[in-house]
Structure 1
Amino acid sequence: MMTRYKWPVLAALSVTVMVSSCVTKKYERPNLSAQTDKLYRDTTISDTTSIATLPIEQLFSDVELQNLIKEGLQNNLDLKTAMQRINEAYATVQQTKAAFFPSLSGNAQVTRTKTSLASLNFPPEFASSFVLTTTTSQLGLSTSWEADIWGKLSSSKRSALANFFASDAGKRAVQTQLIANIANNYYALLALDKQLAITEQTLKNRINDVETMKALKESAIVNGAAVVQSEANRYAAEVTIPDLKRSIRETENALSILLARTPGSIHRGTLDEQKPYTDMQIGVASQLLKNRPDVQQAEFAFRASFENTNMARTYFYPALTITAQGGVSSLKIKNLFDNSIFYNIIGGLTQPIFAKGENKARLRTAKAQQEEAYYAFQQSILTAGSEVSNALYAYQTAVEKQTSRTHQLEALQKAVDYTKELLRYSSATNYTDVLTSEQSLLSAQLSGVNDKLQQLQAVVNLYRSLGGGWKQ
């Protein structure tokens, strides 16, 4: 008898598998070679070595910065929130796995029914106010199981897994951005410290200039206009100091938030102590697909939407559900377990016939969301390439400016010294020349600080744009 029914059963299973494979499709990564082949502008690189693999201790020489990054990785609230999103996604994965197994529930109930004799069609002489009372006790178990014929449950599980991996990639993206934010704010703080020190020294020099101009006026070398101009020059430097101090405090507060601290001062080094990393190796563009967490997150989101489209297709096909119920029932509780067993098994197919366009709308929505996710995936790759190109070029231009800026500062310092000497001993110049040279010198000094800041932050941004930091 088993042999008689063996081949029909196997044939039916084979047909089911074949039809199921037509309903749902297997995910394949899109071919994005056209985007990645020329992703880095004006660069031809075959070496896979990248600074993205460097630990922070090797990339950042400042011990204070290293400690701040470690503190941020330990305490940052955004990172902790991202961890909870991973836990949520994992719980969803467990839920989709459980859907493959039958559900089981227990129930216990007592039903008390009162029926009048009149409703039972007794003669009028018997159907007075009397009622018939019945009490039924029941204890049982029920189970239900849906067969995954068309792959709906499998697609749901794969979608949940993709969302889980996307959450994990999102957490790593938060981590890389956190490291970059801490480092960039730290360097900005050092740059502000340096600019404040330059401005305060300039203020001291200009206070001395005021006294010098007053002495020269008494000697009839300059007039009163030079004294007034020197005072205005002094106040022009002095008025910028409160703004610099405000920026320093705001940057300290921003860093405190990243570290999950209450607002307060930040222990730090100096800008002059910083030694930018110089070996700017970026690897090949295709490495962004596995190094950039946000690119991975975008791909997993696309994969989840792909599986959601698979799941939407299965709603057009019949669902096979098997339910079973069993237990004991009796009119008397004391006899509940005495030959009062009942059970039933029901297997049924549910085929949608008219669902008010719900299934079609669900599929159209899923397909549209899949296309959106695909475009977001492409956009993430293009954005990553642009960020790498921008950071690398920012580093290169910052280095290129260093020599020119050094020569400019030397020349402007000489110009200030020469014009002051000419003003003291010659009538060939006036204080306007001194004022112009001093303003130019201060501007160049502050710009020199920005050059150093640009170089330091370019290293940080290149490290982040290549996907560095999430392995910490």
Structure 2
Amino acid sequence: MVVITAMVCYSCAPTKDVREANTTVPEAFKTQTTDTINTAQLQWKEFFSDPYLQTLIDSALVNNQELNIILQQVDMSQNEIKARKGEYLPFVSMYGGAEVEKVGEYTRNGAVEHNLDIKDGKEFPEPLPNFGVGLSATWELDIWKKLRNSKKAAVFEYLSSVEGKHFMVTHLVSEIADAYYELVALDNQMEIIDQNLDIQQQALKMVRLQKQAARVTELAVRRFEAEMLKNQSHKFEVQQQIVETENEINFLIGSKPKHIARDSEHFIEKEIDTIYTGIPSQLLQNRPDIRQAEYELAAAKLDVKVARANFYPSIGIHAGVGLEAFDLKYLFTTPESLLYGLVGDAIGPLINKNAIKAEYYNATDKQLQAVFEYEKTILSAYIEVANELSNIDNLKSSYNLKQDQVNKLTESIDISMRLFQSARAEYIEVLLTQREALDSRIELVETKKEQMLARINMYQALGGGWN
């Protein structure tokens, strides 16, 4: 009968095919070789050599609140595996109880009790107590692998949560490094502003002397003073940015506001190490978000099998054994007080299966969603690397040009001052030269910072930072 019911349910079960995910990627990145050397394989402590930055990252990996929230999610996913595993094992329970019952004399049980001596001519006690202890067991036979597939899906969900944690770590490491170099760049901007203020102070003294000699008017003095006030105001703006960036780092490391130790010297002279991209197919192994999407897809496939198994009958076994008596002194008298039972049943859907069908269709739709999500993650990863490759090349060219610009404008400051002293240049030329030199030096620092951030972003895009 069970076989016939299974065949009927199988013939009525719907089927919806879902295509496989497309995981093909180009053999190499544009303008790159097929060399498999990959910077993503470096541990973050090897990639970031600055000891101050290493200390900050170490602190964040312990104290960051968002990461700790993710860790709890991983732990809950592991507990879910234990729960799913227990579902296809027998459930064994122990029971014990006592009750008192008074039945009507003009019932079958009452008539039997009043006309039957139980032992030594004594009648049943009234009201009738009852005592019992024993074991009971229930077990659903997982012949359709519904419960096992559910447990396997929980395993993939756990692995997905682990990869989610790894992706969170890569993001956290990158975020701290970005903020750290932003802070270092701001320190260098502050130093440039101070140096420029010294130059302007000297220029202002010279202009005042020129005014005393009637070679310039009060207008020149006021313009130089206004330029100094502008840069002094800008200095306070940079100070505020430093405070905010320090507190951003403090938040990431789970700390209250405090000074962030850092190495800001020789920032402009820092060499940008070469990034080795490897080949695109390595992204599938190195990127945690791609592996997370892959595990989510595997779990979704198993969820479809679980939903389809709901159309088949579930077969269960119920068993019990124990001792029962109306008097405690007879409770352990065997075999008179012994009772046991064994029941097997099969329950399957027959009419009104709309809810089960809806669950199955939802499971297949979620599987297709997981396919698209997996493909999207792979495409996004490839594009991120391609964008950063172009960004690194363009920033390198831009930095070299801006460095030449800074050198020329720095030389122009001395030239303009000498020409102004010899009355061969107007004061406005001196002002513009100093302003342009300041702007170019700040832009050079910004470009160096962008180079550092591009290197960090490439490391993250390749899948580095979590190991």
* TM-score w.r.t. length of structure 2: 0.88
Match of 2:102, SS state, is: strand
Q: Residue 37 in 1 paired to residue 33 in 2?
A: no
1:122 deviates by 10
Pick aligned residue for 1:433 from 429, 433, 450 = 429
1:38 deviates by 6.4
Alignment of 1:362-441 (within 5 A): 362-426=359-423, 428-441=424-437
Pick aligned residue for 1:161 from 152, 155, 164 = 155
Alignment of 1:258-337 (within 5 A): 258-273=252-267, 275-337=270-332
Q: Could you tell me whether the CA contact under 8 Å between 1:301 and 1:373 is conserved in 2?
A: yes
String of CA shifts for 1:254-301, please: whole Å, max 9, x gaps: 111222222111111015257344222100101111100111111111
Give the residue type in structure 1 aligned to 2:34.
S
Match of 1:268, SS state, is: coil
Give the residue type in structure 1 aligned to 2:351.
F
Q: What is the rounded CA distance, in whole Å, between the counterparts of 1:366 and 1:413 in structure 2?
A: 67
Q: Could you tell me whether the CA contact under 8 Å between 2:313 and 2:349 is conserved in 1?
A: yes
1:119 deviates by 7.3
Q: Could you tell me whether the CA contact under 8 Å between 2:286 and 2:464 is conserved in 1?
A: yes
Alignment CA distance shift 1:99-1:64 (3 Å): same
Pick aligned residue for 1:105 from 90, 93, 102 = 93
Match of 1:272, SS state, is: coil
1:68 deviates by 2.2
Please provide the CA RMSD for this pair: 2.8
Give the residue type in structure 1 aligned to 2:331.
L
Give the residue type in structure 2 aligned to 1:282.
T
Q: What is the rounded CA distance, in whole Å, between the counterparts of 1:152 and 1:184 in structure 2?
A: 47
Greater displacement, 355-364 / 189-198: 355-364
Q: Could you tell me whether the CA contact under 8 Å between 2:311 and 2:356 is conserved in 1?
A: yes
1:221 deviates by 1.0
String of CA shifts for 1:433-455, please: whole Å, max 9, x gaps: 22222211111100100111111
Q: Residue 66 in 1 paired to residue 60 in 2?
A: no
Q: Could you tell me whether the CA contact under 8 Å between 2:35 and 2:278 is conserved in 1?
A: yes
Q: What is the rounded CA distance, in whole Å, between the counterparts of 1:311 and 1:25 in structure 2?
A: 14
Q: Could you tell me whether the CA contact under 8 Å between 2:14 and 2:357 is conserved in 1?
A: no
Which residue of structure 1 aligns with residue 115 of structure 2? none
1:393 deviates by 2.1
Pick aligned residue for 2:245 from 245, 251, 271 = 251
Greater displacement, 336-345 / 201-210: 201-210
Q: Could you tell me whether the CA contact under 8 Å between 2:28 and 2:34 is conserved in 1?
A: no
Which residue of structure 2 aligns with residue 348 of structure 1? 345
Which residue of structure 1 aligns with residue 450 of structure 2? 454
Q: What is the rounded CA distance, in whole Å, between the counterparts of 1:94 and 1:46 in structure 2?
A: 44
Q: Could you tell me whether the CA contact under 8 Å between 1:39 and 1:385 is conserved in 2?
A: no
Which residue of structure 2 aligns with residue 7 of structure 1? none
Q: What is the rounded CA distance, in whole Å, between the counterparts of 2:457 and 2:175 in structure 1?
A: 9
Q: What is the rounded CA distance, in whole Å, between the counterparts of 2:94 and 2:34 in structure 1?
A: 65
Q: What is the rounded CA distance, in whole Å, between the counterparts of 1:122 and 1:405 in structure 2?
A: 107
1:43 deviates by 3.4
Pick aligned residue for 1:193 from 184, 187, 191 = 187
Alignment CA distance shift 1:282-1:59 (3 Å): same
Q: Residue 152 in 1 paired to residue 146 in 2?
A: yes
Which residue of structure 2 aligns with residue 357 of structure 1? 354
Q: What is the rounded CA distance, in whole Å, between the counterparts of 2:251 and 2:265 in structure 1?
A: 22
Pick aligned residue for 1:175 from 169, 176, 179 = 169
Alignment of 1:42-121 (within 5 A): 42-115=30-103, 117=105
Q: Could you tell me whether the CA contact under 8 Å between 1:320 and 1:348 is conserved in 2?
A: yes
Which residue of structure 2 aligns with residue 9 of structure 1? none
Match of 1:429, SS state, is: coil
Identity of aligned pairs, percent? 30
Give the residue type in structure 2 aligned to 1:316.
F
Alignment CA distance shift 1:243-1:355 (3 Å): farther
Match of 1:349, SS state, is: strand
Q: What is the rounded CA distance, in whole Å, between the counterparts of 1:340 and 1:132 in structure 2?
A: 19
Q: What is the rounded CA distance, in whole Å, between the counterparts of 1:411 and 1:121 in structure 2?
A: 113
Match of 2:139, SS state, is: strand
Q: What is the rounded CA distance, in whole Å, between the counterparts of 1:46 and 1:403 in structure 2?
A: 28
Q: What is the rounded CA distance, in whole Å, between the counterparts of 1:233 and 1:32 in structure 2?
A: 58
String of CA shifts for 1:304-356, please: whole Å, max 9, x gaps: 11111111111111111111122111111221122211111111111112346
Greater displacement, 66-75 / 148-157: 66-75
* TM-score w.r.t. length of structure 1: 0.87
Q: Could you tell me whether the CA contact under 8 Å between 1:60 and 1:277 is conserved in 2?
A: no
Q: Could you tell me whether the CA contact under 8 Å between 1:24 and 1:150 is conserved in 2?
A: no
Q: How many residues align?
A: 445
Q: Could you tell me whether the CA contact under 8 Å between 2:146 and 2:309 is conserved in 1?
A: yes
Pick aligned residue for 2:198 from 199, 204, 213 = 204
Q: Residue 442 in 1 paired to residue 438 in 2?
A: yes
Task: Return 5+ residue gaps in structure 1 as ranges.
Answer: 1-11, 124-130
Q: Could you tell me whether the CA contact under 8 Å between 1:27 and 1:306 is conserved in 2?
A: no
Alignment CA distance shift 1:118-1:154 (3 Å): closer
Alignment CA distance shift 1:203-1:79 (3 Å): same
Q: Could you tell me whether the CA contact under 8 Å between 2:27 and 2:34 is conserved in 1?
A: no
Q: What is the rounded CA distance, in whole Å, between the counterparts of 1:48 and 1:71 in structure 2?
A: 32
Alignment CA distance shift 1:190-1:226 (3 Å): same
1:160 deviates by 0.4
Match of 2:201, SS state, is: helix
